[in-house]
């Protein structure tokens, strides 16, 4: 077994024959010694990043686990196009590698050798700790519930992800959201719960709130159901500045273009009903309606006639299919629609369906 083939496997570039070869090799106990040798070569690469210093091997193990988790979650899921078969294969080998890495560390710790390891994120330089990170992805057609290490519950809307530590440590409970999430935070007055959502952070102690922060949207919405949250943005140095302190029924809208925030009062459940499978629109502009419906049904909705942008929709959808929703729209609004079928791409995948909306003139 070569290191190149292991890396090819982790990057999801193996053929079926190579995949079977790797799985069989790791499953055979006679290869444990060679497995250790491969992992030690990874270890040596980590050492080359920085000179030795006073930090124990747990930090290095955290680094290895972080690398494994990052490859498993990002490279696997994104590059494989949510191929669950390959996901399970690589999840299996990740477990094997972790176990071997733990065995490898024990005798080295006994020698009292210490290394200092740094890694560089895409945004800033961070010192590694012994915390491993998990990242959960909610697919384009699913709502995913997660229970965090502190007992907090999070629901992820379609095409959303949450990154969080395997165990919360330090003075805050930090998670990173991309997309939309509904949070029910376990109370801990001494350790605030902080959601990083693009350009802002939402800090809470124990409360219920919803955050919509899809990449590409020009605003971030936070709606508070229960408790108190503070919205912060980066200030000078490492200090964050509080730009809004919310109370129940508040909706805070942060504009990404000018960094301004406005707060409204909302008394209905339209901003968080999605977690229960309901889409609620209350006098909502068609531009926003088509965005939410497009994400919900994983389709591209195109407004053909500008007159449609002047329309407002008030409706509640529960368990309806896309054709049913479009038919209801055509009944309550002067709208005509057409739905295209998926087309097969050159790589064997299929394109998203398109919905064309046009103005119906009487």
Asked whether residue 257 falls in the same domain as residue 282, the answer is no
Higher pLDDT, 46 or 285: 285
Q: Is residue 15 part of a domain?
A: yes
Predicted pLDDT at 53: 41
27-41, 87-101, 135-149, 331-345: segment of lowest average pLDDT: 87-101
Q: Is residue 229 part of a domain?
A: yes
Q: Using one digit for the tens of pLDDT, what is the confidence trace for 298-341?
A: 999 999 999 999 999 999 999 899 999 999 999 999 999 999 98
Percentage of the chain beyond pLDDT 90 is 51
Q: Which of residues 241, 265, 289 is at a domain's end?
A: 265
Decide: helix, strand or coil at residue 214: coil
Domain of residue 167, CATH code: 2.60.120.1440
Predicted pLDDT at 54: 42
Decide: helix, strand or coil at residue 177: strand
Q: Which of residues 72, 104, 124 is at a domain's end?
A: 124
Q: Using one digit for the tens of pLDDT, what is the confidence trace for 101-141?
A: 444 444 433 333 333 222 333 333 343 445 789 999 998 88
Q: Using one digit for the tens of pLDDT, what is the confidence trace for 9-30?
A: 655 566 767 766 766 665 554 5
Asked whether residue 18 falls in the same domain as residue 73, the answer is yes
CA-to-CA dists, residue 339 to 134, 142, 220, angstroms? 38, 21, 30
Asked whether residue 255 falls in the same domain as residue 301, the answer is no
Asked whether residue 145 falls in the same domain as residue 120, the answer is no
Q: Which of residues 69, 101, 124 is at a domain's end?
A: 124
> Can you read off the two tokens belonging to residue 229?
């949250």
The helix (run of H) or strand (run of E) holding residue 286 is helix 286-297
Cα dihedral 7→8→13→17 (10° resolution): -130
Predicted pLDDT at 182: 97
Mean pLDDT of 58-66: 43
Q: Is residue 270 part of a domain?
A: no
- Structural domain harbouring 300: 277-359
Q: Is residue 333 part of a domain?
A: yes
Q: How many domains does the chain have?
A: 3
Alpha carbon of residue 229 to chain centroid: 21
Asked whether residue 337 falls in the same domain as residue 316, the answer is yes
| Rounded-to-integer distance, Cα 323 and Cα 342, Å | 15
| Rounded-to-integer distance, Cα 350 and Cα 344, Å | 4
Asked whether residue 120 falls in the same domain as residue 144, the answer is no
Domain of residue 330, CATH code: 3.55.50.30
Asked whether residue 151 falls in the same domain as residue 183, the answer is yes
Asked whether residue 157 falls in the same domain as residue 80, the answer is no
Predicted pLDDT at 25: 62
Q: Is residue 90 part of a domain?
A: yes
Q: Which of 65-69, 160-164, 239-243 has the highest mean pLDDT?
A: 160-164
Asked whether residue 220 falls in the same domain as residue 338, the answer is no
Q: What is the pTM of this model?
A: 0.62
| Rounded-to-integer distance, Cα 302 and Cα 352, Å | 13
CA-to-CA dists, residue 187 to 144, 152, 167, 196, 208, angstroms? 22, 8, 16, 19, 11
pLDDT over 70 (residue 257): yes
Asked whether residue 84 falls in the same domain as residue 152, the answer is no
Predicted pLDDT at 86: 46
Percentage of the chain beyond pLDDT 70 is 65
Q: Is residue 129 part of a domain?
A: no
**What one-character DSSP code corresponds to residue 266?**
-
Decide: helix, strand or coil at residue 259: coil
Predicted pLDDT at 338: 94
pLDDT over 70 (residue 99): no
Closest CA to 192 of 170, 222, 164: 170
| Rounded-to-integer distance, Cα 251 and Cα 11, Å | 42
Up-side HSE of residue 162: CA atoms within 13 Å toward CB? Answer: 27
Asked whether residue 250 falls in the same domain as residue 141, the answer is yes
Predicted pLDDT at 140: 85
| Rounded-to-integer distance, Cα 102 and Cα 190, Å | 33
Asked whether residue 57 falls in the same domain as residue 152, the answer is no
Q: Is residue 131 part of a domain?
A: no
162 and 176 in contact (C-beta within 8 Å)?
A: yes
> Can you read off the two tokens belonging to residue 48?
């080359």
Q: Is residue 130 part of a domain?
A: no
CA-to-CA dists, residue 354 to 157, 290, 293, 294, 342, angstroms? 21, 12, 12, 9, 8
Higher pLDDT, 318 or 347: 318
Q: Which of 15-19, 32-36, 147-151 has the highest mean pLDDT?
A: 147-151
> Can you read off the two tokens belonging to residue 199?
């350009």
**What one-character DSSP code corresponds to residue 78?**
I
């Amino acid at each position: 077994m070569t290191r190149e083939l292991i890396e090819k496997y982790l990057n999801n570039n193996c053929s079926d024959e190579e995949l079977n070869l790797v799985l069989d090799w790791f499953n055979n106990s006679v290869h444990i010694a060679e497995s250790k040798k491969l992992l030690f070569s990874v270890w040596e690469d980590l050492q080359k990043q920085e000179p030795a210093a006073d930090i124990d091997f747990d930090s290095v193990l955290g680094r290895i686990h972080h690398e494994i988790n990052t490859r498993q979650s990002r490279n696997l899921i994104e590059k494989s196009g949510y191929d669950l078969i390959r996901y399970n294969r690589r999840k299996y080998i990740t477990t094997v590698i972790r176990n071997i890495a733990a065995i490898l560390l024990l005798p080295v710790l006994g020698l009292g050798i210490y290394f200092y390891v740094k890694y560089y994120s895409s945004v800033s330089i961070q010192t590694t700790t012994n915390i491993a990170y998990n990242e959960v992805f909610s697919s384009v057609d699913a709502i995913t519930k997660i229970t965090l290490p502190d007992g907090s519950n999070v629901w992820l809307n379609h095409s959303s992800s949450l990154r969080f530590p395997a165990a919360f440590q330090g003075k805050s409970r930090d998670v990173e959201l991309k997309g939309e999430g509904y949070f029910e935070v376990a109370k801990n007055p001494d350790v605030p719960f902080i959601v990083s959502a693009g350009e802002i952070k939402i800090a809470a102690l124990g409360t219920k709130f919803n955050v919509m922060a899809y990449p590409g949207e020009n605003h971030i919405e936070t709606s508070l159901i229960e408790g108190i949250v503070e919205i912060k943005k980066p200030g000078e140095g490492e200090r964050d500045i509080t730009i809004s302190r919310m109370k129940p029924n508040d909706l805070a809208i942060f504009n990404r273009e000018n960094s301004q925030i406005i707060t409204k009062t909302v008394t209905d459940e339209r901003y968080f009903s999605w977690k229960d499978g309901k889409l609620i629109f209350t006098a909502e502009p068609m531009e926003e309606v088509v965005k939410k419906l497009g994400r919900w049904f994983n389709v591209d909705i195109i407004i053909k006639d500008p007159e449609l942008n002047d329309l407002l929709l008030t409706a509640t959808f529960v368990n309806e299919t896309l054709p049913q929703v479009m038919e209801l729209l055509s009944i309550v609004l002067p709208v005509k629609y057409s739905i295209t079928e998926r087309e097969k791409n050159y790589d064997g995948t299929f394109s998203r369906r398109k919905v064309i909306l046009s103005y119906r003139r009487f």
